[in-house]
Amino acid sequence: MSQTFDSIFKQGVKRIHYQIDVLDSNKSHIHVVIWPTFSGLSDFEKSVADQVAAFGFSVTAIDLYGLDQNPAALDEKRAKMSALLAEAEPLHALQHQLTQSACDGMQTKTIVHVGFCLGGRLALEAGLHFEGSAGAASFHGLMSFFRAQSEDKANTKAKILVLNGHQDPLVPEGDAQEAKRYWTSLGMDFQFVDFSNTVHSFMLPSADNPDHGSQYNPLVAQRSYLYLANFLEEFV
C-alpha cells in the first residue's frame, strides 16, 4: 500500500457521509450505498440520495476524500483517482471500511451499491468483491474493474445493472464486451443498457463539454432513475 494512497485516503481523514434513514418496514433491511464521481461527494450525489430515499430506501452517499478535501482541478482529480485505483487490495479494504461506516448492522442488511463515473466502477468493485453485497448499479461507470482472483472469490450472487452511454469515450466497446463476457463466465445476473446518442456523465446536470464526450442528457437521466427504481425493488 503506497504512502500516496494512505496520505490521500487514510491519514487524518475526517469524513461526513450524507445519510438518510427511511423507516419503511417493507424495505428497512435494504441500504443503498452511493459512490461519487472523481470530484467527490457533492450536491449531485446528495440529490441522488434524496431520490433513492423518495423511492423508500435508506441510503448513504459516501464522502470519499473527506471533509473539505474534494479535488478541484482536473489534474488533481485524475491523480487522486489513479492513486485510488492503483491496487486492488487497498482499494477494497477502503471500500469495505467506508461501507461499514455507512451501514449500521452491516451484516444484517441487504446492501446495494450505486455509483457514477469513477463511482460506477467502485459500485461494480463492491458488488463483485464483497460477499455481503446484494447488487451494484453503475451509471456511466468505468468497466476496467478488478477481476476476482478466482471464481470462488467472486460474489457471483450479486445482481448487476449497468447504464451506459453508447458513445461514451471512457467506455470503449472492447471494455464493455469484456465485462459482459466476464460476468457471463461467472453465471452472474446482469443487465447492460446502452443509451443511443449518449456520452459520458449523462446523469450530471453540470456536465456540458460535448467536445470531450461529456454531456448531461435529461431524458436519459429520467429513464435511468426508472431503471434504478425497478432494480432496487428486486431486493424488497
In the structure, what pLDDT confidence band is assigned to residue 3 with cuts at 50, 70 and 90?
Answer: low
Helix intervals (H) in 105-217: 118-129, 173-185
**Residue 24: per-residue pLDDT:** 78
Give the global pTM.
Answer: 0.96
Q: What is the 3-state secondary structure (H, E, C) of 125-140?
A: HHHHHCCCEEEEEEEC
**Residue 1: per-residue pLDDT:** 44
Helix (H, G, I), strand (E, B) or coil at 188: coil
**Residue 79: per-residue pLDDT:** 95
Return the CATH number at 95. Answer: 3.40.50.1820
Q: What is the pLDDT of residues 81-131, one digit of tens each?
A: 999 999 999 999 999 999 999 987 777 899 999 999 999 999 999 999 999
Q: What is the pLDDT of residues 156-205, one digit of tens each?
A: 999 999 999 999 999 999 999 999 999 999 999 999 999 999 999 999 99
The grid cell for 66 is 473527506
Q: What's the number of domains the chain is made of?
A: 1
The grid cell for 136 is 451494484
Residue 153: which domain range?
3-233
Percent of the chain with pLDDT over 90: 94
Adjacent-strand bridge partners of 146: none
Answer yes or no: are the C-beta atoms of 195 and 216 closer than 8 Å. Answer: no
Cα separation, 40 vs 159, in Å, equals 25
Pairing mode, if any, of strands 133-139 and 110-116? parallel
Per the prediction, the chain carries an average pLDDT of 95
Cα separation, 125 vs 130, in Å, equals 8
In the structure, what pLDDT confidence band is assigned to residue 20 with cuts at 50, 70 and 90?
Answer: very high
**Residue 19: per-residue pLDDT:** 96
Helix intervals (H) in 167-217: 173-185
